[in-house]
Structure 1
Amino acid sequence: MHRAIFLIVIWFLFSSTNAYGQDKQLFAIRSLSQKHPDSALIILKKLHAKAVDEGNTATEGACLHQMGQICYNQGHYAQAIDFYQRADKLFSTLGNKNFLAVNLGEMGVLYYYNKQLGKSRAMYNKALVIYKQNHNLKGQAEIFGNIGHLYEKRRQYDSAFYYQNLALKTYTNANYKQGAAKIYENLGSIYEDLAKFDSAYTCFKHSLQLYREENNEIASIEVINNLGDILRKTGKYKESIVQSHRAMTLAGQTGNIYQLAACSKDLGKTYELINRMDSAYHYAELSRKYSLEIYSIDGVKQTAFLQVLYDIDKKSDEIVRLNNIRKINRIIAFAAVVIGALLIILVIVIFSRQRLKIKDQNALAKQKEAQHELMQLEIKNQQLEEESLKQQLDVKSRELSAHTLNLIKNNQLLEHLRSTLQAMVKEDKRDQKKQMQQVIVQINESFNHEQHWKEFTNAFEQVHQQFFDNIKKHSGELTSTDMRLIALLRINLGSADIATLLGISTDSLRVSRYRLRKKLNIPQGDNLTAFIQSL
C-alpha cells in the first residue's frame, strides 16, 4: 500500500511542469509528509535534483524549505537547519521576500524548540521586517504569536499576553479565522499555566468555535481535550469526561493516535479523581497501548527516515564527488583549450615576429645598401672635390710661384739698374747726373710696390688658408713687413731671394729674422723657418 501511494505521487509530481503544477506538487508533498515523511523526503530530493538541473532556483529553494520542515517535524534539528539555511541563501538571491520571511519564521521556530531563544528572536525580527514591508498581515500575526511563545517560555507573561493579543488583533484584521483560533488556543494555555481556569476555558471555547467554522476537525480535537482538562482541574468531572470522550471519538474517526493517547490519559486521570478505578485503569492501559503504538510507529518512521537521510547524504556525497570530477574535467578541458589557444597565438606571434624580423632585416639591408651607395657617392664627390681643390691648389701654387719669381726678377733687374746707375753717378758727369738721380728715385719707389705685394698676399692666402690668423695667435706685435717675411719663409725661399724681394741686404735680413724670433717667442736653438713651416 505504501509503495503504491509512493508511485502514484511520483507520477503526479513529475507530470506537472508549469508554475501551477509546481504549487500542486509542493502541496501534495506537504500532505504526504504528515503520514509518510520518508517518502515525501525522497520525492522532494528528486524534485530538488530536477530543479537544480533545470536551473529553477525558486523550486529548488521551496524543496529545501519543505525538506527542512520534514526534518524538523521528525526531530532532526541539525539536518533541518542545514536545509533551511540553504533555502535562505537561494531566496535571498532570488529576492523573493515572502518565501524568505516564511523560511526565517520556520528557522525561528526550530531555534525555539532547540532552546536557542536568542537566535530564535533574531530570525523572528528579520521575518517581521519583511512582512511589514510587504503588508502581509497573516505573516505578521504568526510572528507575533511566536514571539509571545518566547516570552511565555521565559515566564514573562505580561509580554507574552501583549504579543499574543497583538497577533489576535492582526489575524482579525486579516479575517483569518484559523490563525485567530490558534492564538485563542495559545492564550488559553497561558491562562491555564497561571491557574486562571475561567479565562483559559473562555479562550478555548473561542478557539473551538473558530475551528468549527473552518471545519478543522484535527485542530478541534486538541482544543476539546483542553476543555476537558480545564473542567477536570476545576472539579467538573462529568463535563470533563464528556469533552474527553468527544475528543477521543473525533481522534478515532481521523486516526489520530497521538490525540487518542492524550484523551485516554486525561480520562484515566478524571476517573481516578472520582474513584472509578476500573475505568481509570482501563483508560490508563489504553493510553499506554496507544503510547506504545506511537513509539512503535515513530520507531519505524524514524528508522525509515534515517535510512532515507543516510541514502540522501550518501547520494549527496556521490553527487558532490561526481560534480567535483565534472568540475575538474571541465577545468582540465578549459585549461587544454586555453593552452591550445595560447599555443596557437604563440605560433602566430612567433611567425608574425619572424616575418617582421625578416621584413626589418630586408629593410635594414636595403637601408644599408642605400647608405653604402650614398657613402660611395659622397666619397666620389669628396674625391672630386679634393681633386678640384688639389687642382686649384696647384694652380694657386703655380700662381704664387709665378708671382714670387716675377717679384724676384723684377727686384733683381731693379737692383742691377740701381747698381749701374749708382756707378754712373759716382763718375760725376754733370750732364747726366741729374737725370740719373731721377731714375734712381723711380727705381727705389718700384722696390716696394704695393700692388705686387697685394697680388702675392692674395695668392698666398688662397694656398695657405688661415695661416696669418694662426701666426697672429703667437704674437700681437707683428707688422706688415714681419708678415711679408713670414710669408716668404713659409714658401721656403732662400735668404738671398728674400733679401732681394724685401729690398734689403742680407745683414738687414739677418737682423729682421732675429727680431721676428723674439716677437714669436721662439726658444734659442729652434729653427725659425721650421717653426713657421709647422704652422
Structure 2
Amino acid sequence: MAKEYLDSANMASRDMDFPMFSNKIALAETQILKKEKNFAQAIKLLEDNVAYLQSLNLRESQLDTYDELFQLYKETGDAENSLLYFEKYTQLKDSLQQELNTGKLNVLRVEHNYNQVVSDLEKTETQLALASEAQKRIKHRNYFVIGLAGLIILFSVFMFYRQRKLNLARRAVLESKQEVLNVKQQALDNKVRFKNKQITDFAIHISEKNELLENIKSKLKSIKVTNDTYKEIVNDTMHFINNDIEQNKEKIQLYQQVNETTDSFRAKINEMYKNLSDKEKKVATMLRLGQSSKQIALQLNISAASVDNYRYTIRKKMNIPKGESLKMFIQNI
C-alpha cells in the first residue's frame, strides 16, 4: 500500500517538475523494497532515478542515490557494481567538495574585491573630502588675498593723497619761509644800500674836509711868521692838519674796502652759511678786514668778551677744524 502511494507521488512530482521531491520519494521507496528484500527492483528504481537526475544535472541528489546503490550492491554481494558506485560516489563527492571549495574561494575573492572596492571608495571619498576642503581653503585664501590686496590699494591711495596733502602743506610752508627770507633779504639790501649811502656821504664829507684843511694849510704856508713862538704854533698846526688829512684818507680807503668786502663777502656767506645771524655776519666781515676783537667791539659798541663769544659761535657754525685760524679761514672764502 505504501509503495503504491510512493509510486503515485513520484510520478506526480515528476509531472509537476519537482525533481528534489521526486528523489526523496525514490529513496524512501528504495527503503521499503530493501525491507521486502526486493533488491533488484530497488536497484532498478535507483538507476532510473540516477538517469533522471543526470538529465537534470542535479549532482547533489545524485550523491545520495550513488551512496544508496553502493549499499544495495554491497548487500547483494555484487562487489564490482558496489565498487563502481563507490567510486562514482567518491568522485562526485570530491567534485562537489572541490566546487564548494572553489565557490567558497570565489566568494572570498568576491568579498575581498568588494572590501577592496569599498576601501577604494572610502579612500576616494576621503580624497574628495580632502580635495573639497583644500579647494575651500584655497577659495578662502583667495578671498583673503583679494581682500588684503583691496586694503593695500585703499591704504596706498590714502597714503598717496595724504602725502600729496603733506607735500602741498610743506610747499606752502617753504613758500612762506621763502617769502619771509625774501623780505629779510630785501630789508638787508635796503640796509646795505643805506649804509653804502652813509659811507659815500661820509667819504664826500671827508673829501670836503680834506680840501678845507688843504686850503687852511696853504694859507698858513703863505703867512710869514718871524716870531719863533708863533712859528712853532704854526708848524704844530700844519703837522696836525697833515696827520688829520692822512687819517681821513685812511678812513676813506677803509670804508671803500668795507663797502667792497661787504658786497661780495656778504653774498658768499649768505649762500654758504645761512645759519649765521646778522651780528655774526658783521663780525665775520670785520674779521675779514683784519680788525682785532677790540676794534670790532668799539665799532659795534659791545664788549671784547662778546666779540670772543661771536668768534666761537662763528667757528662752530662754519665747522672750522680745531687749530685752524678763524681769520685765515674767513679770508679764504
Report TM bin, short chain.
0.3 to 0.5
Which of structures 1 and 2 has the bigger CA Rg?
A: 2
The TM-score normalised by the length of structure 2 is 0.46
The TM-score normalised by the length of structure 1 is 0.30
Greater relative CO (CA pairs within 8 A, separation 6+) = 2
